Amino acid sequence: MKNVGIWLDKEKALIVTVKGDKETLQSVPSNIENFHVHGGSGSRFKGGPQDVVQDSKYLEREKHQLKQYFKTIVNHVNSADALVVFGPAETKDKFIKEVQQNYKPLTAKIKEVKKTDSMTDNQLKALVRDYFMSN
């Protein structure tokens, strides 16, 4: 049986595969740009020139980059028998939503979604191994 744990945030995904008593760790970079929107008043005088910030353009680009990131993760874990997803922020929730909408066969394999902070590679391997041993 091939059990997989995914720890993900906006920067990278760490995929731990547990098969028998052997664990492998794989890192998948997200390649999502870090958007620093600049804008606001271009003058120290009230009513001076204003920069127009196109938030929707940045958000749309980020949305497409997230979709591509999630597609790459799904390609790595498609052959899993059971799946558990970990992460510190809302990226894991966006991933689950994307899987439920576009990758329905994988949805049935997801056993749990847990909120966790950053951890070392060994801590992550132990967490995934212990999760599947206890369930």
Q: Could you give the CA distance from residue 81 to residue 55 in angstroms, rounded to a whole number?
A: 40
Q: Work out the average pLDDT over 7-17.
A: 95
pLDDT tens, position by position, 93-134: 999 999 999 999 999 999 999 999 989 999 999 999 999 998
Map out the domains of the chain as residue ranges: 2-134
- The pLDDT assigned to 128 comes to 94
pLDDT in tens, 66-102: 999 999 999 999 999 999 999 998 999 999 999 999 9
Question: What is the amino acid identity at position 65?
Answer: Q
Q: Domain 2-134 belongs to what architecture? A: 2-Layer Sandwich (3.30)
As a whole number of angstroms, the distance between CA 6 and CA 124 comes to: 9
pLDDT of residue 31 exceeding 80: yes
Could you tell me the pLDDT band of residue 45, with boundaries at 50, 70 and 90? Answer: low
How far is it, in rounded angstroms, from Cα 21 to Cα 31? 32
Amino acid at 109: K
pTM, rounded to two decimals? 0.84
Q: Given this model, what pLDDT does residue 25 score?
A: 96
- List the Cα angle 9/23/110 in 5-degree steps: 50
Long-range contacts of 92-98 (CB under 8 A, 24+ apart): 92/8, 92/9, 94/66, 94/70, 95/6, 95/8, 95/70, 98/66, 98/67, 98/70
**Strand 12-19 versus strand 2-8 pairing type:** antiparallel
Per-residue model confidence as pLDDT tens digits over 32-42: 888 766 655 55
